Amino acid sequence: MKNYVLVPGSSEKKAYTIEDLIVPAGGKTVIIFDKQTLNNSKSGEKSGDRITLLDPNGKEIDQTPWKSDSSNSDYTWQRSVDGYAEWTFAKGTPGSKNGGSIPGGVLMRAFIIDCFKSAGEKAFGEMGNKIKSADDLALFMQRVIKIAFEEIIESIANSIVSASAFIELEITDYAETQHNGIRISLEIGSEMIEDSLKWLIGQIDYLAKYANTSNDLKPAEFICEDAYFRTMVYTGISAPQFLDITSLDTEIIIGVSVSVNVAGIYNILGRDMGKWRANIGIVMEDIPTVMIPFIFEADKTMKSDLWLLKVNFQEADD
């Protein structure tokens, strides 16, 4: 993007020329202006400001709508979802994507259309970019539906990291600076969500032909394999509650976690309800993104769990 220019609508004199920058396909970059550039007051007949991207020859490539921001916070004007036309005022996510994996409301239709469009391109490529007969067309439609449903299911599953119900016992000191406790929880993850959706689709005869599922999927089995009982013994430290120190508001929790799936519990009781799995490790919970090494590409809008050590065990395949 050498010699591309960002021009504020309020004044061409504040234009920013990009010197040397390479953005890969699907990539992102953050450009920080040296000084205050955008205008929140009226710019001619417009209120606020906008940014126009020009190529080295002065041709307009893209342009934002006119927007203003008087909140002086970490909220920004941004596309609701990457590449979408609608803009919303939300918490800034510099360096990360806008929106979540699954858009909602008015964006859902666009999301589904994009899934089928992508599925059509993949299916057409699988067939050598040729459809020669009615049979080929029927096969093409089957592949499109199958691939689209696979992508939709995967996106929905990946939008949920985990969900849990837990019981917790915690002991803390008078100043609430240090605490110790134990937590017992029942957790499910994206694997169970994905298996559940495939099973539901598998109940509809027509869709069962196209979804990446099997009639052998049994709810009791995948629930037992993908739901885990987890026990964690932890300790934590935070700033004293009587101190109004925002910068020290972060609470650090570190503990030893042991998990075993429901099938493992049944296995101990002598019943076969699927393949047992277990894991043990040391984990830090609810870590702010600024404390996560950038190589992990953590979501800047959320806190994360950082595993310092994790060992997985599972029943060997026959």
pLDDT per position as a tens digit, 166-177 = 788 888 776 666
Judge whether 77 and 87 are in contact, CB under 8 Å: yes
> Domain extents for the chain?
5-70, 107-158, 163-190+225-314
From residue 316, alpha-carbon distances to 150, 192, 195, 218 in Å are 27, 20, 20, 20
Give which of 12, 68, 77 is closest to 39, Cα–Cα.
68
Q: Report helix, strand and coil shares of the chain as percent, to nearest 5.
A: 30, 30, 40
Q: Which long-range contacts (CB under 8 A, 24 or more apart) does 125-130 make?
A: none
Question: For position 17, what pLDDT does the model report?
Answer: 87
Question: Does the structure show a pLDDT above 80 at 13?
Answer: no
141-181 pLDDT, tens digit per residue, is 888 888 888 877 777 776 666 777 878 888 877 666 677 88
Ramachandran sector of residue 17 (left: φ over 0; alpha: ψ -120 to 50; beta: rest): beta
What tens digit of pLDDT does each residue of 70-93 get?
A: 777 777 888 766 666 667 777 777
Judged by average pLDDT, the poorest of 158-172, 190-204, 255-269, 299-313 is 190-204
Measured CA to CA, the distance from residue 16 to residue 88 in angstroms comes to 24
Instruction: List, for residues 15-72, the tens digit of each pLDDT value.
Output: 888 888 888 776 778 887 766 666 766 655 667 788 899 998 988 888 888 888 777 7
* CA separation for the pair 158, 102 (Å, rounded): 9
What is the rounded average pLDDT for all residues in the chain?
76
Which residues contact residue 272 at a Cβ distance below 8 angstroms, ignoring those fewer than 6 apart? 266
Average pLDDT over residues 269-280: 89
Strand partners, 178: 237
Q: Where are the beta strands (DSSP E) in the chain?
A: 5-8, 16-17, 42-43, 46-47, 51-54, 60-63, 75-79, 87-91, 162-172, 178-189, 227-237, 252-261, 277-287, 304-314
Per-residue pLDDT, 68? 81
Residue 12 pLDDT > 50: yes
Supply 165's token pair.
């119900």
CA distance 20 to 35: 20
Q: What is residue 278's predicted lDDT score, i.e. its pLDDT?
A: 93
Report d(CA 79, CA 84) in Å as an integer.
6
Residue 254: phi and psi, rounded to 5, are -135, 140
Q: What is the CA radius of gyration of the chain?
A: 26
Q: Which of 15-29, 105-119, 237-251 has the lowest mean pLDDT?
A: 237-251
DSSP string covering 8-67: ETT-GGG-EE--S----TT-------SS-----SEETTEESB-EEEE-TTS-EEEEPPPB
Q: Could you give phi then psi for residue 263, rounded to 5 degrees?
A: -60, -35
For residue 196 the two structure tokens come to 């559940």
Dmax of the chain from CA atoms? Answer: 78
Tokens for 244? 């109004």
Q: Give the tens place of pLDDT for each residue, 185-243.
A: 888 777 777 777 777 666 554 554 555 555 555 667 777 888 899 999 988 876 555 44
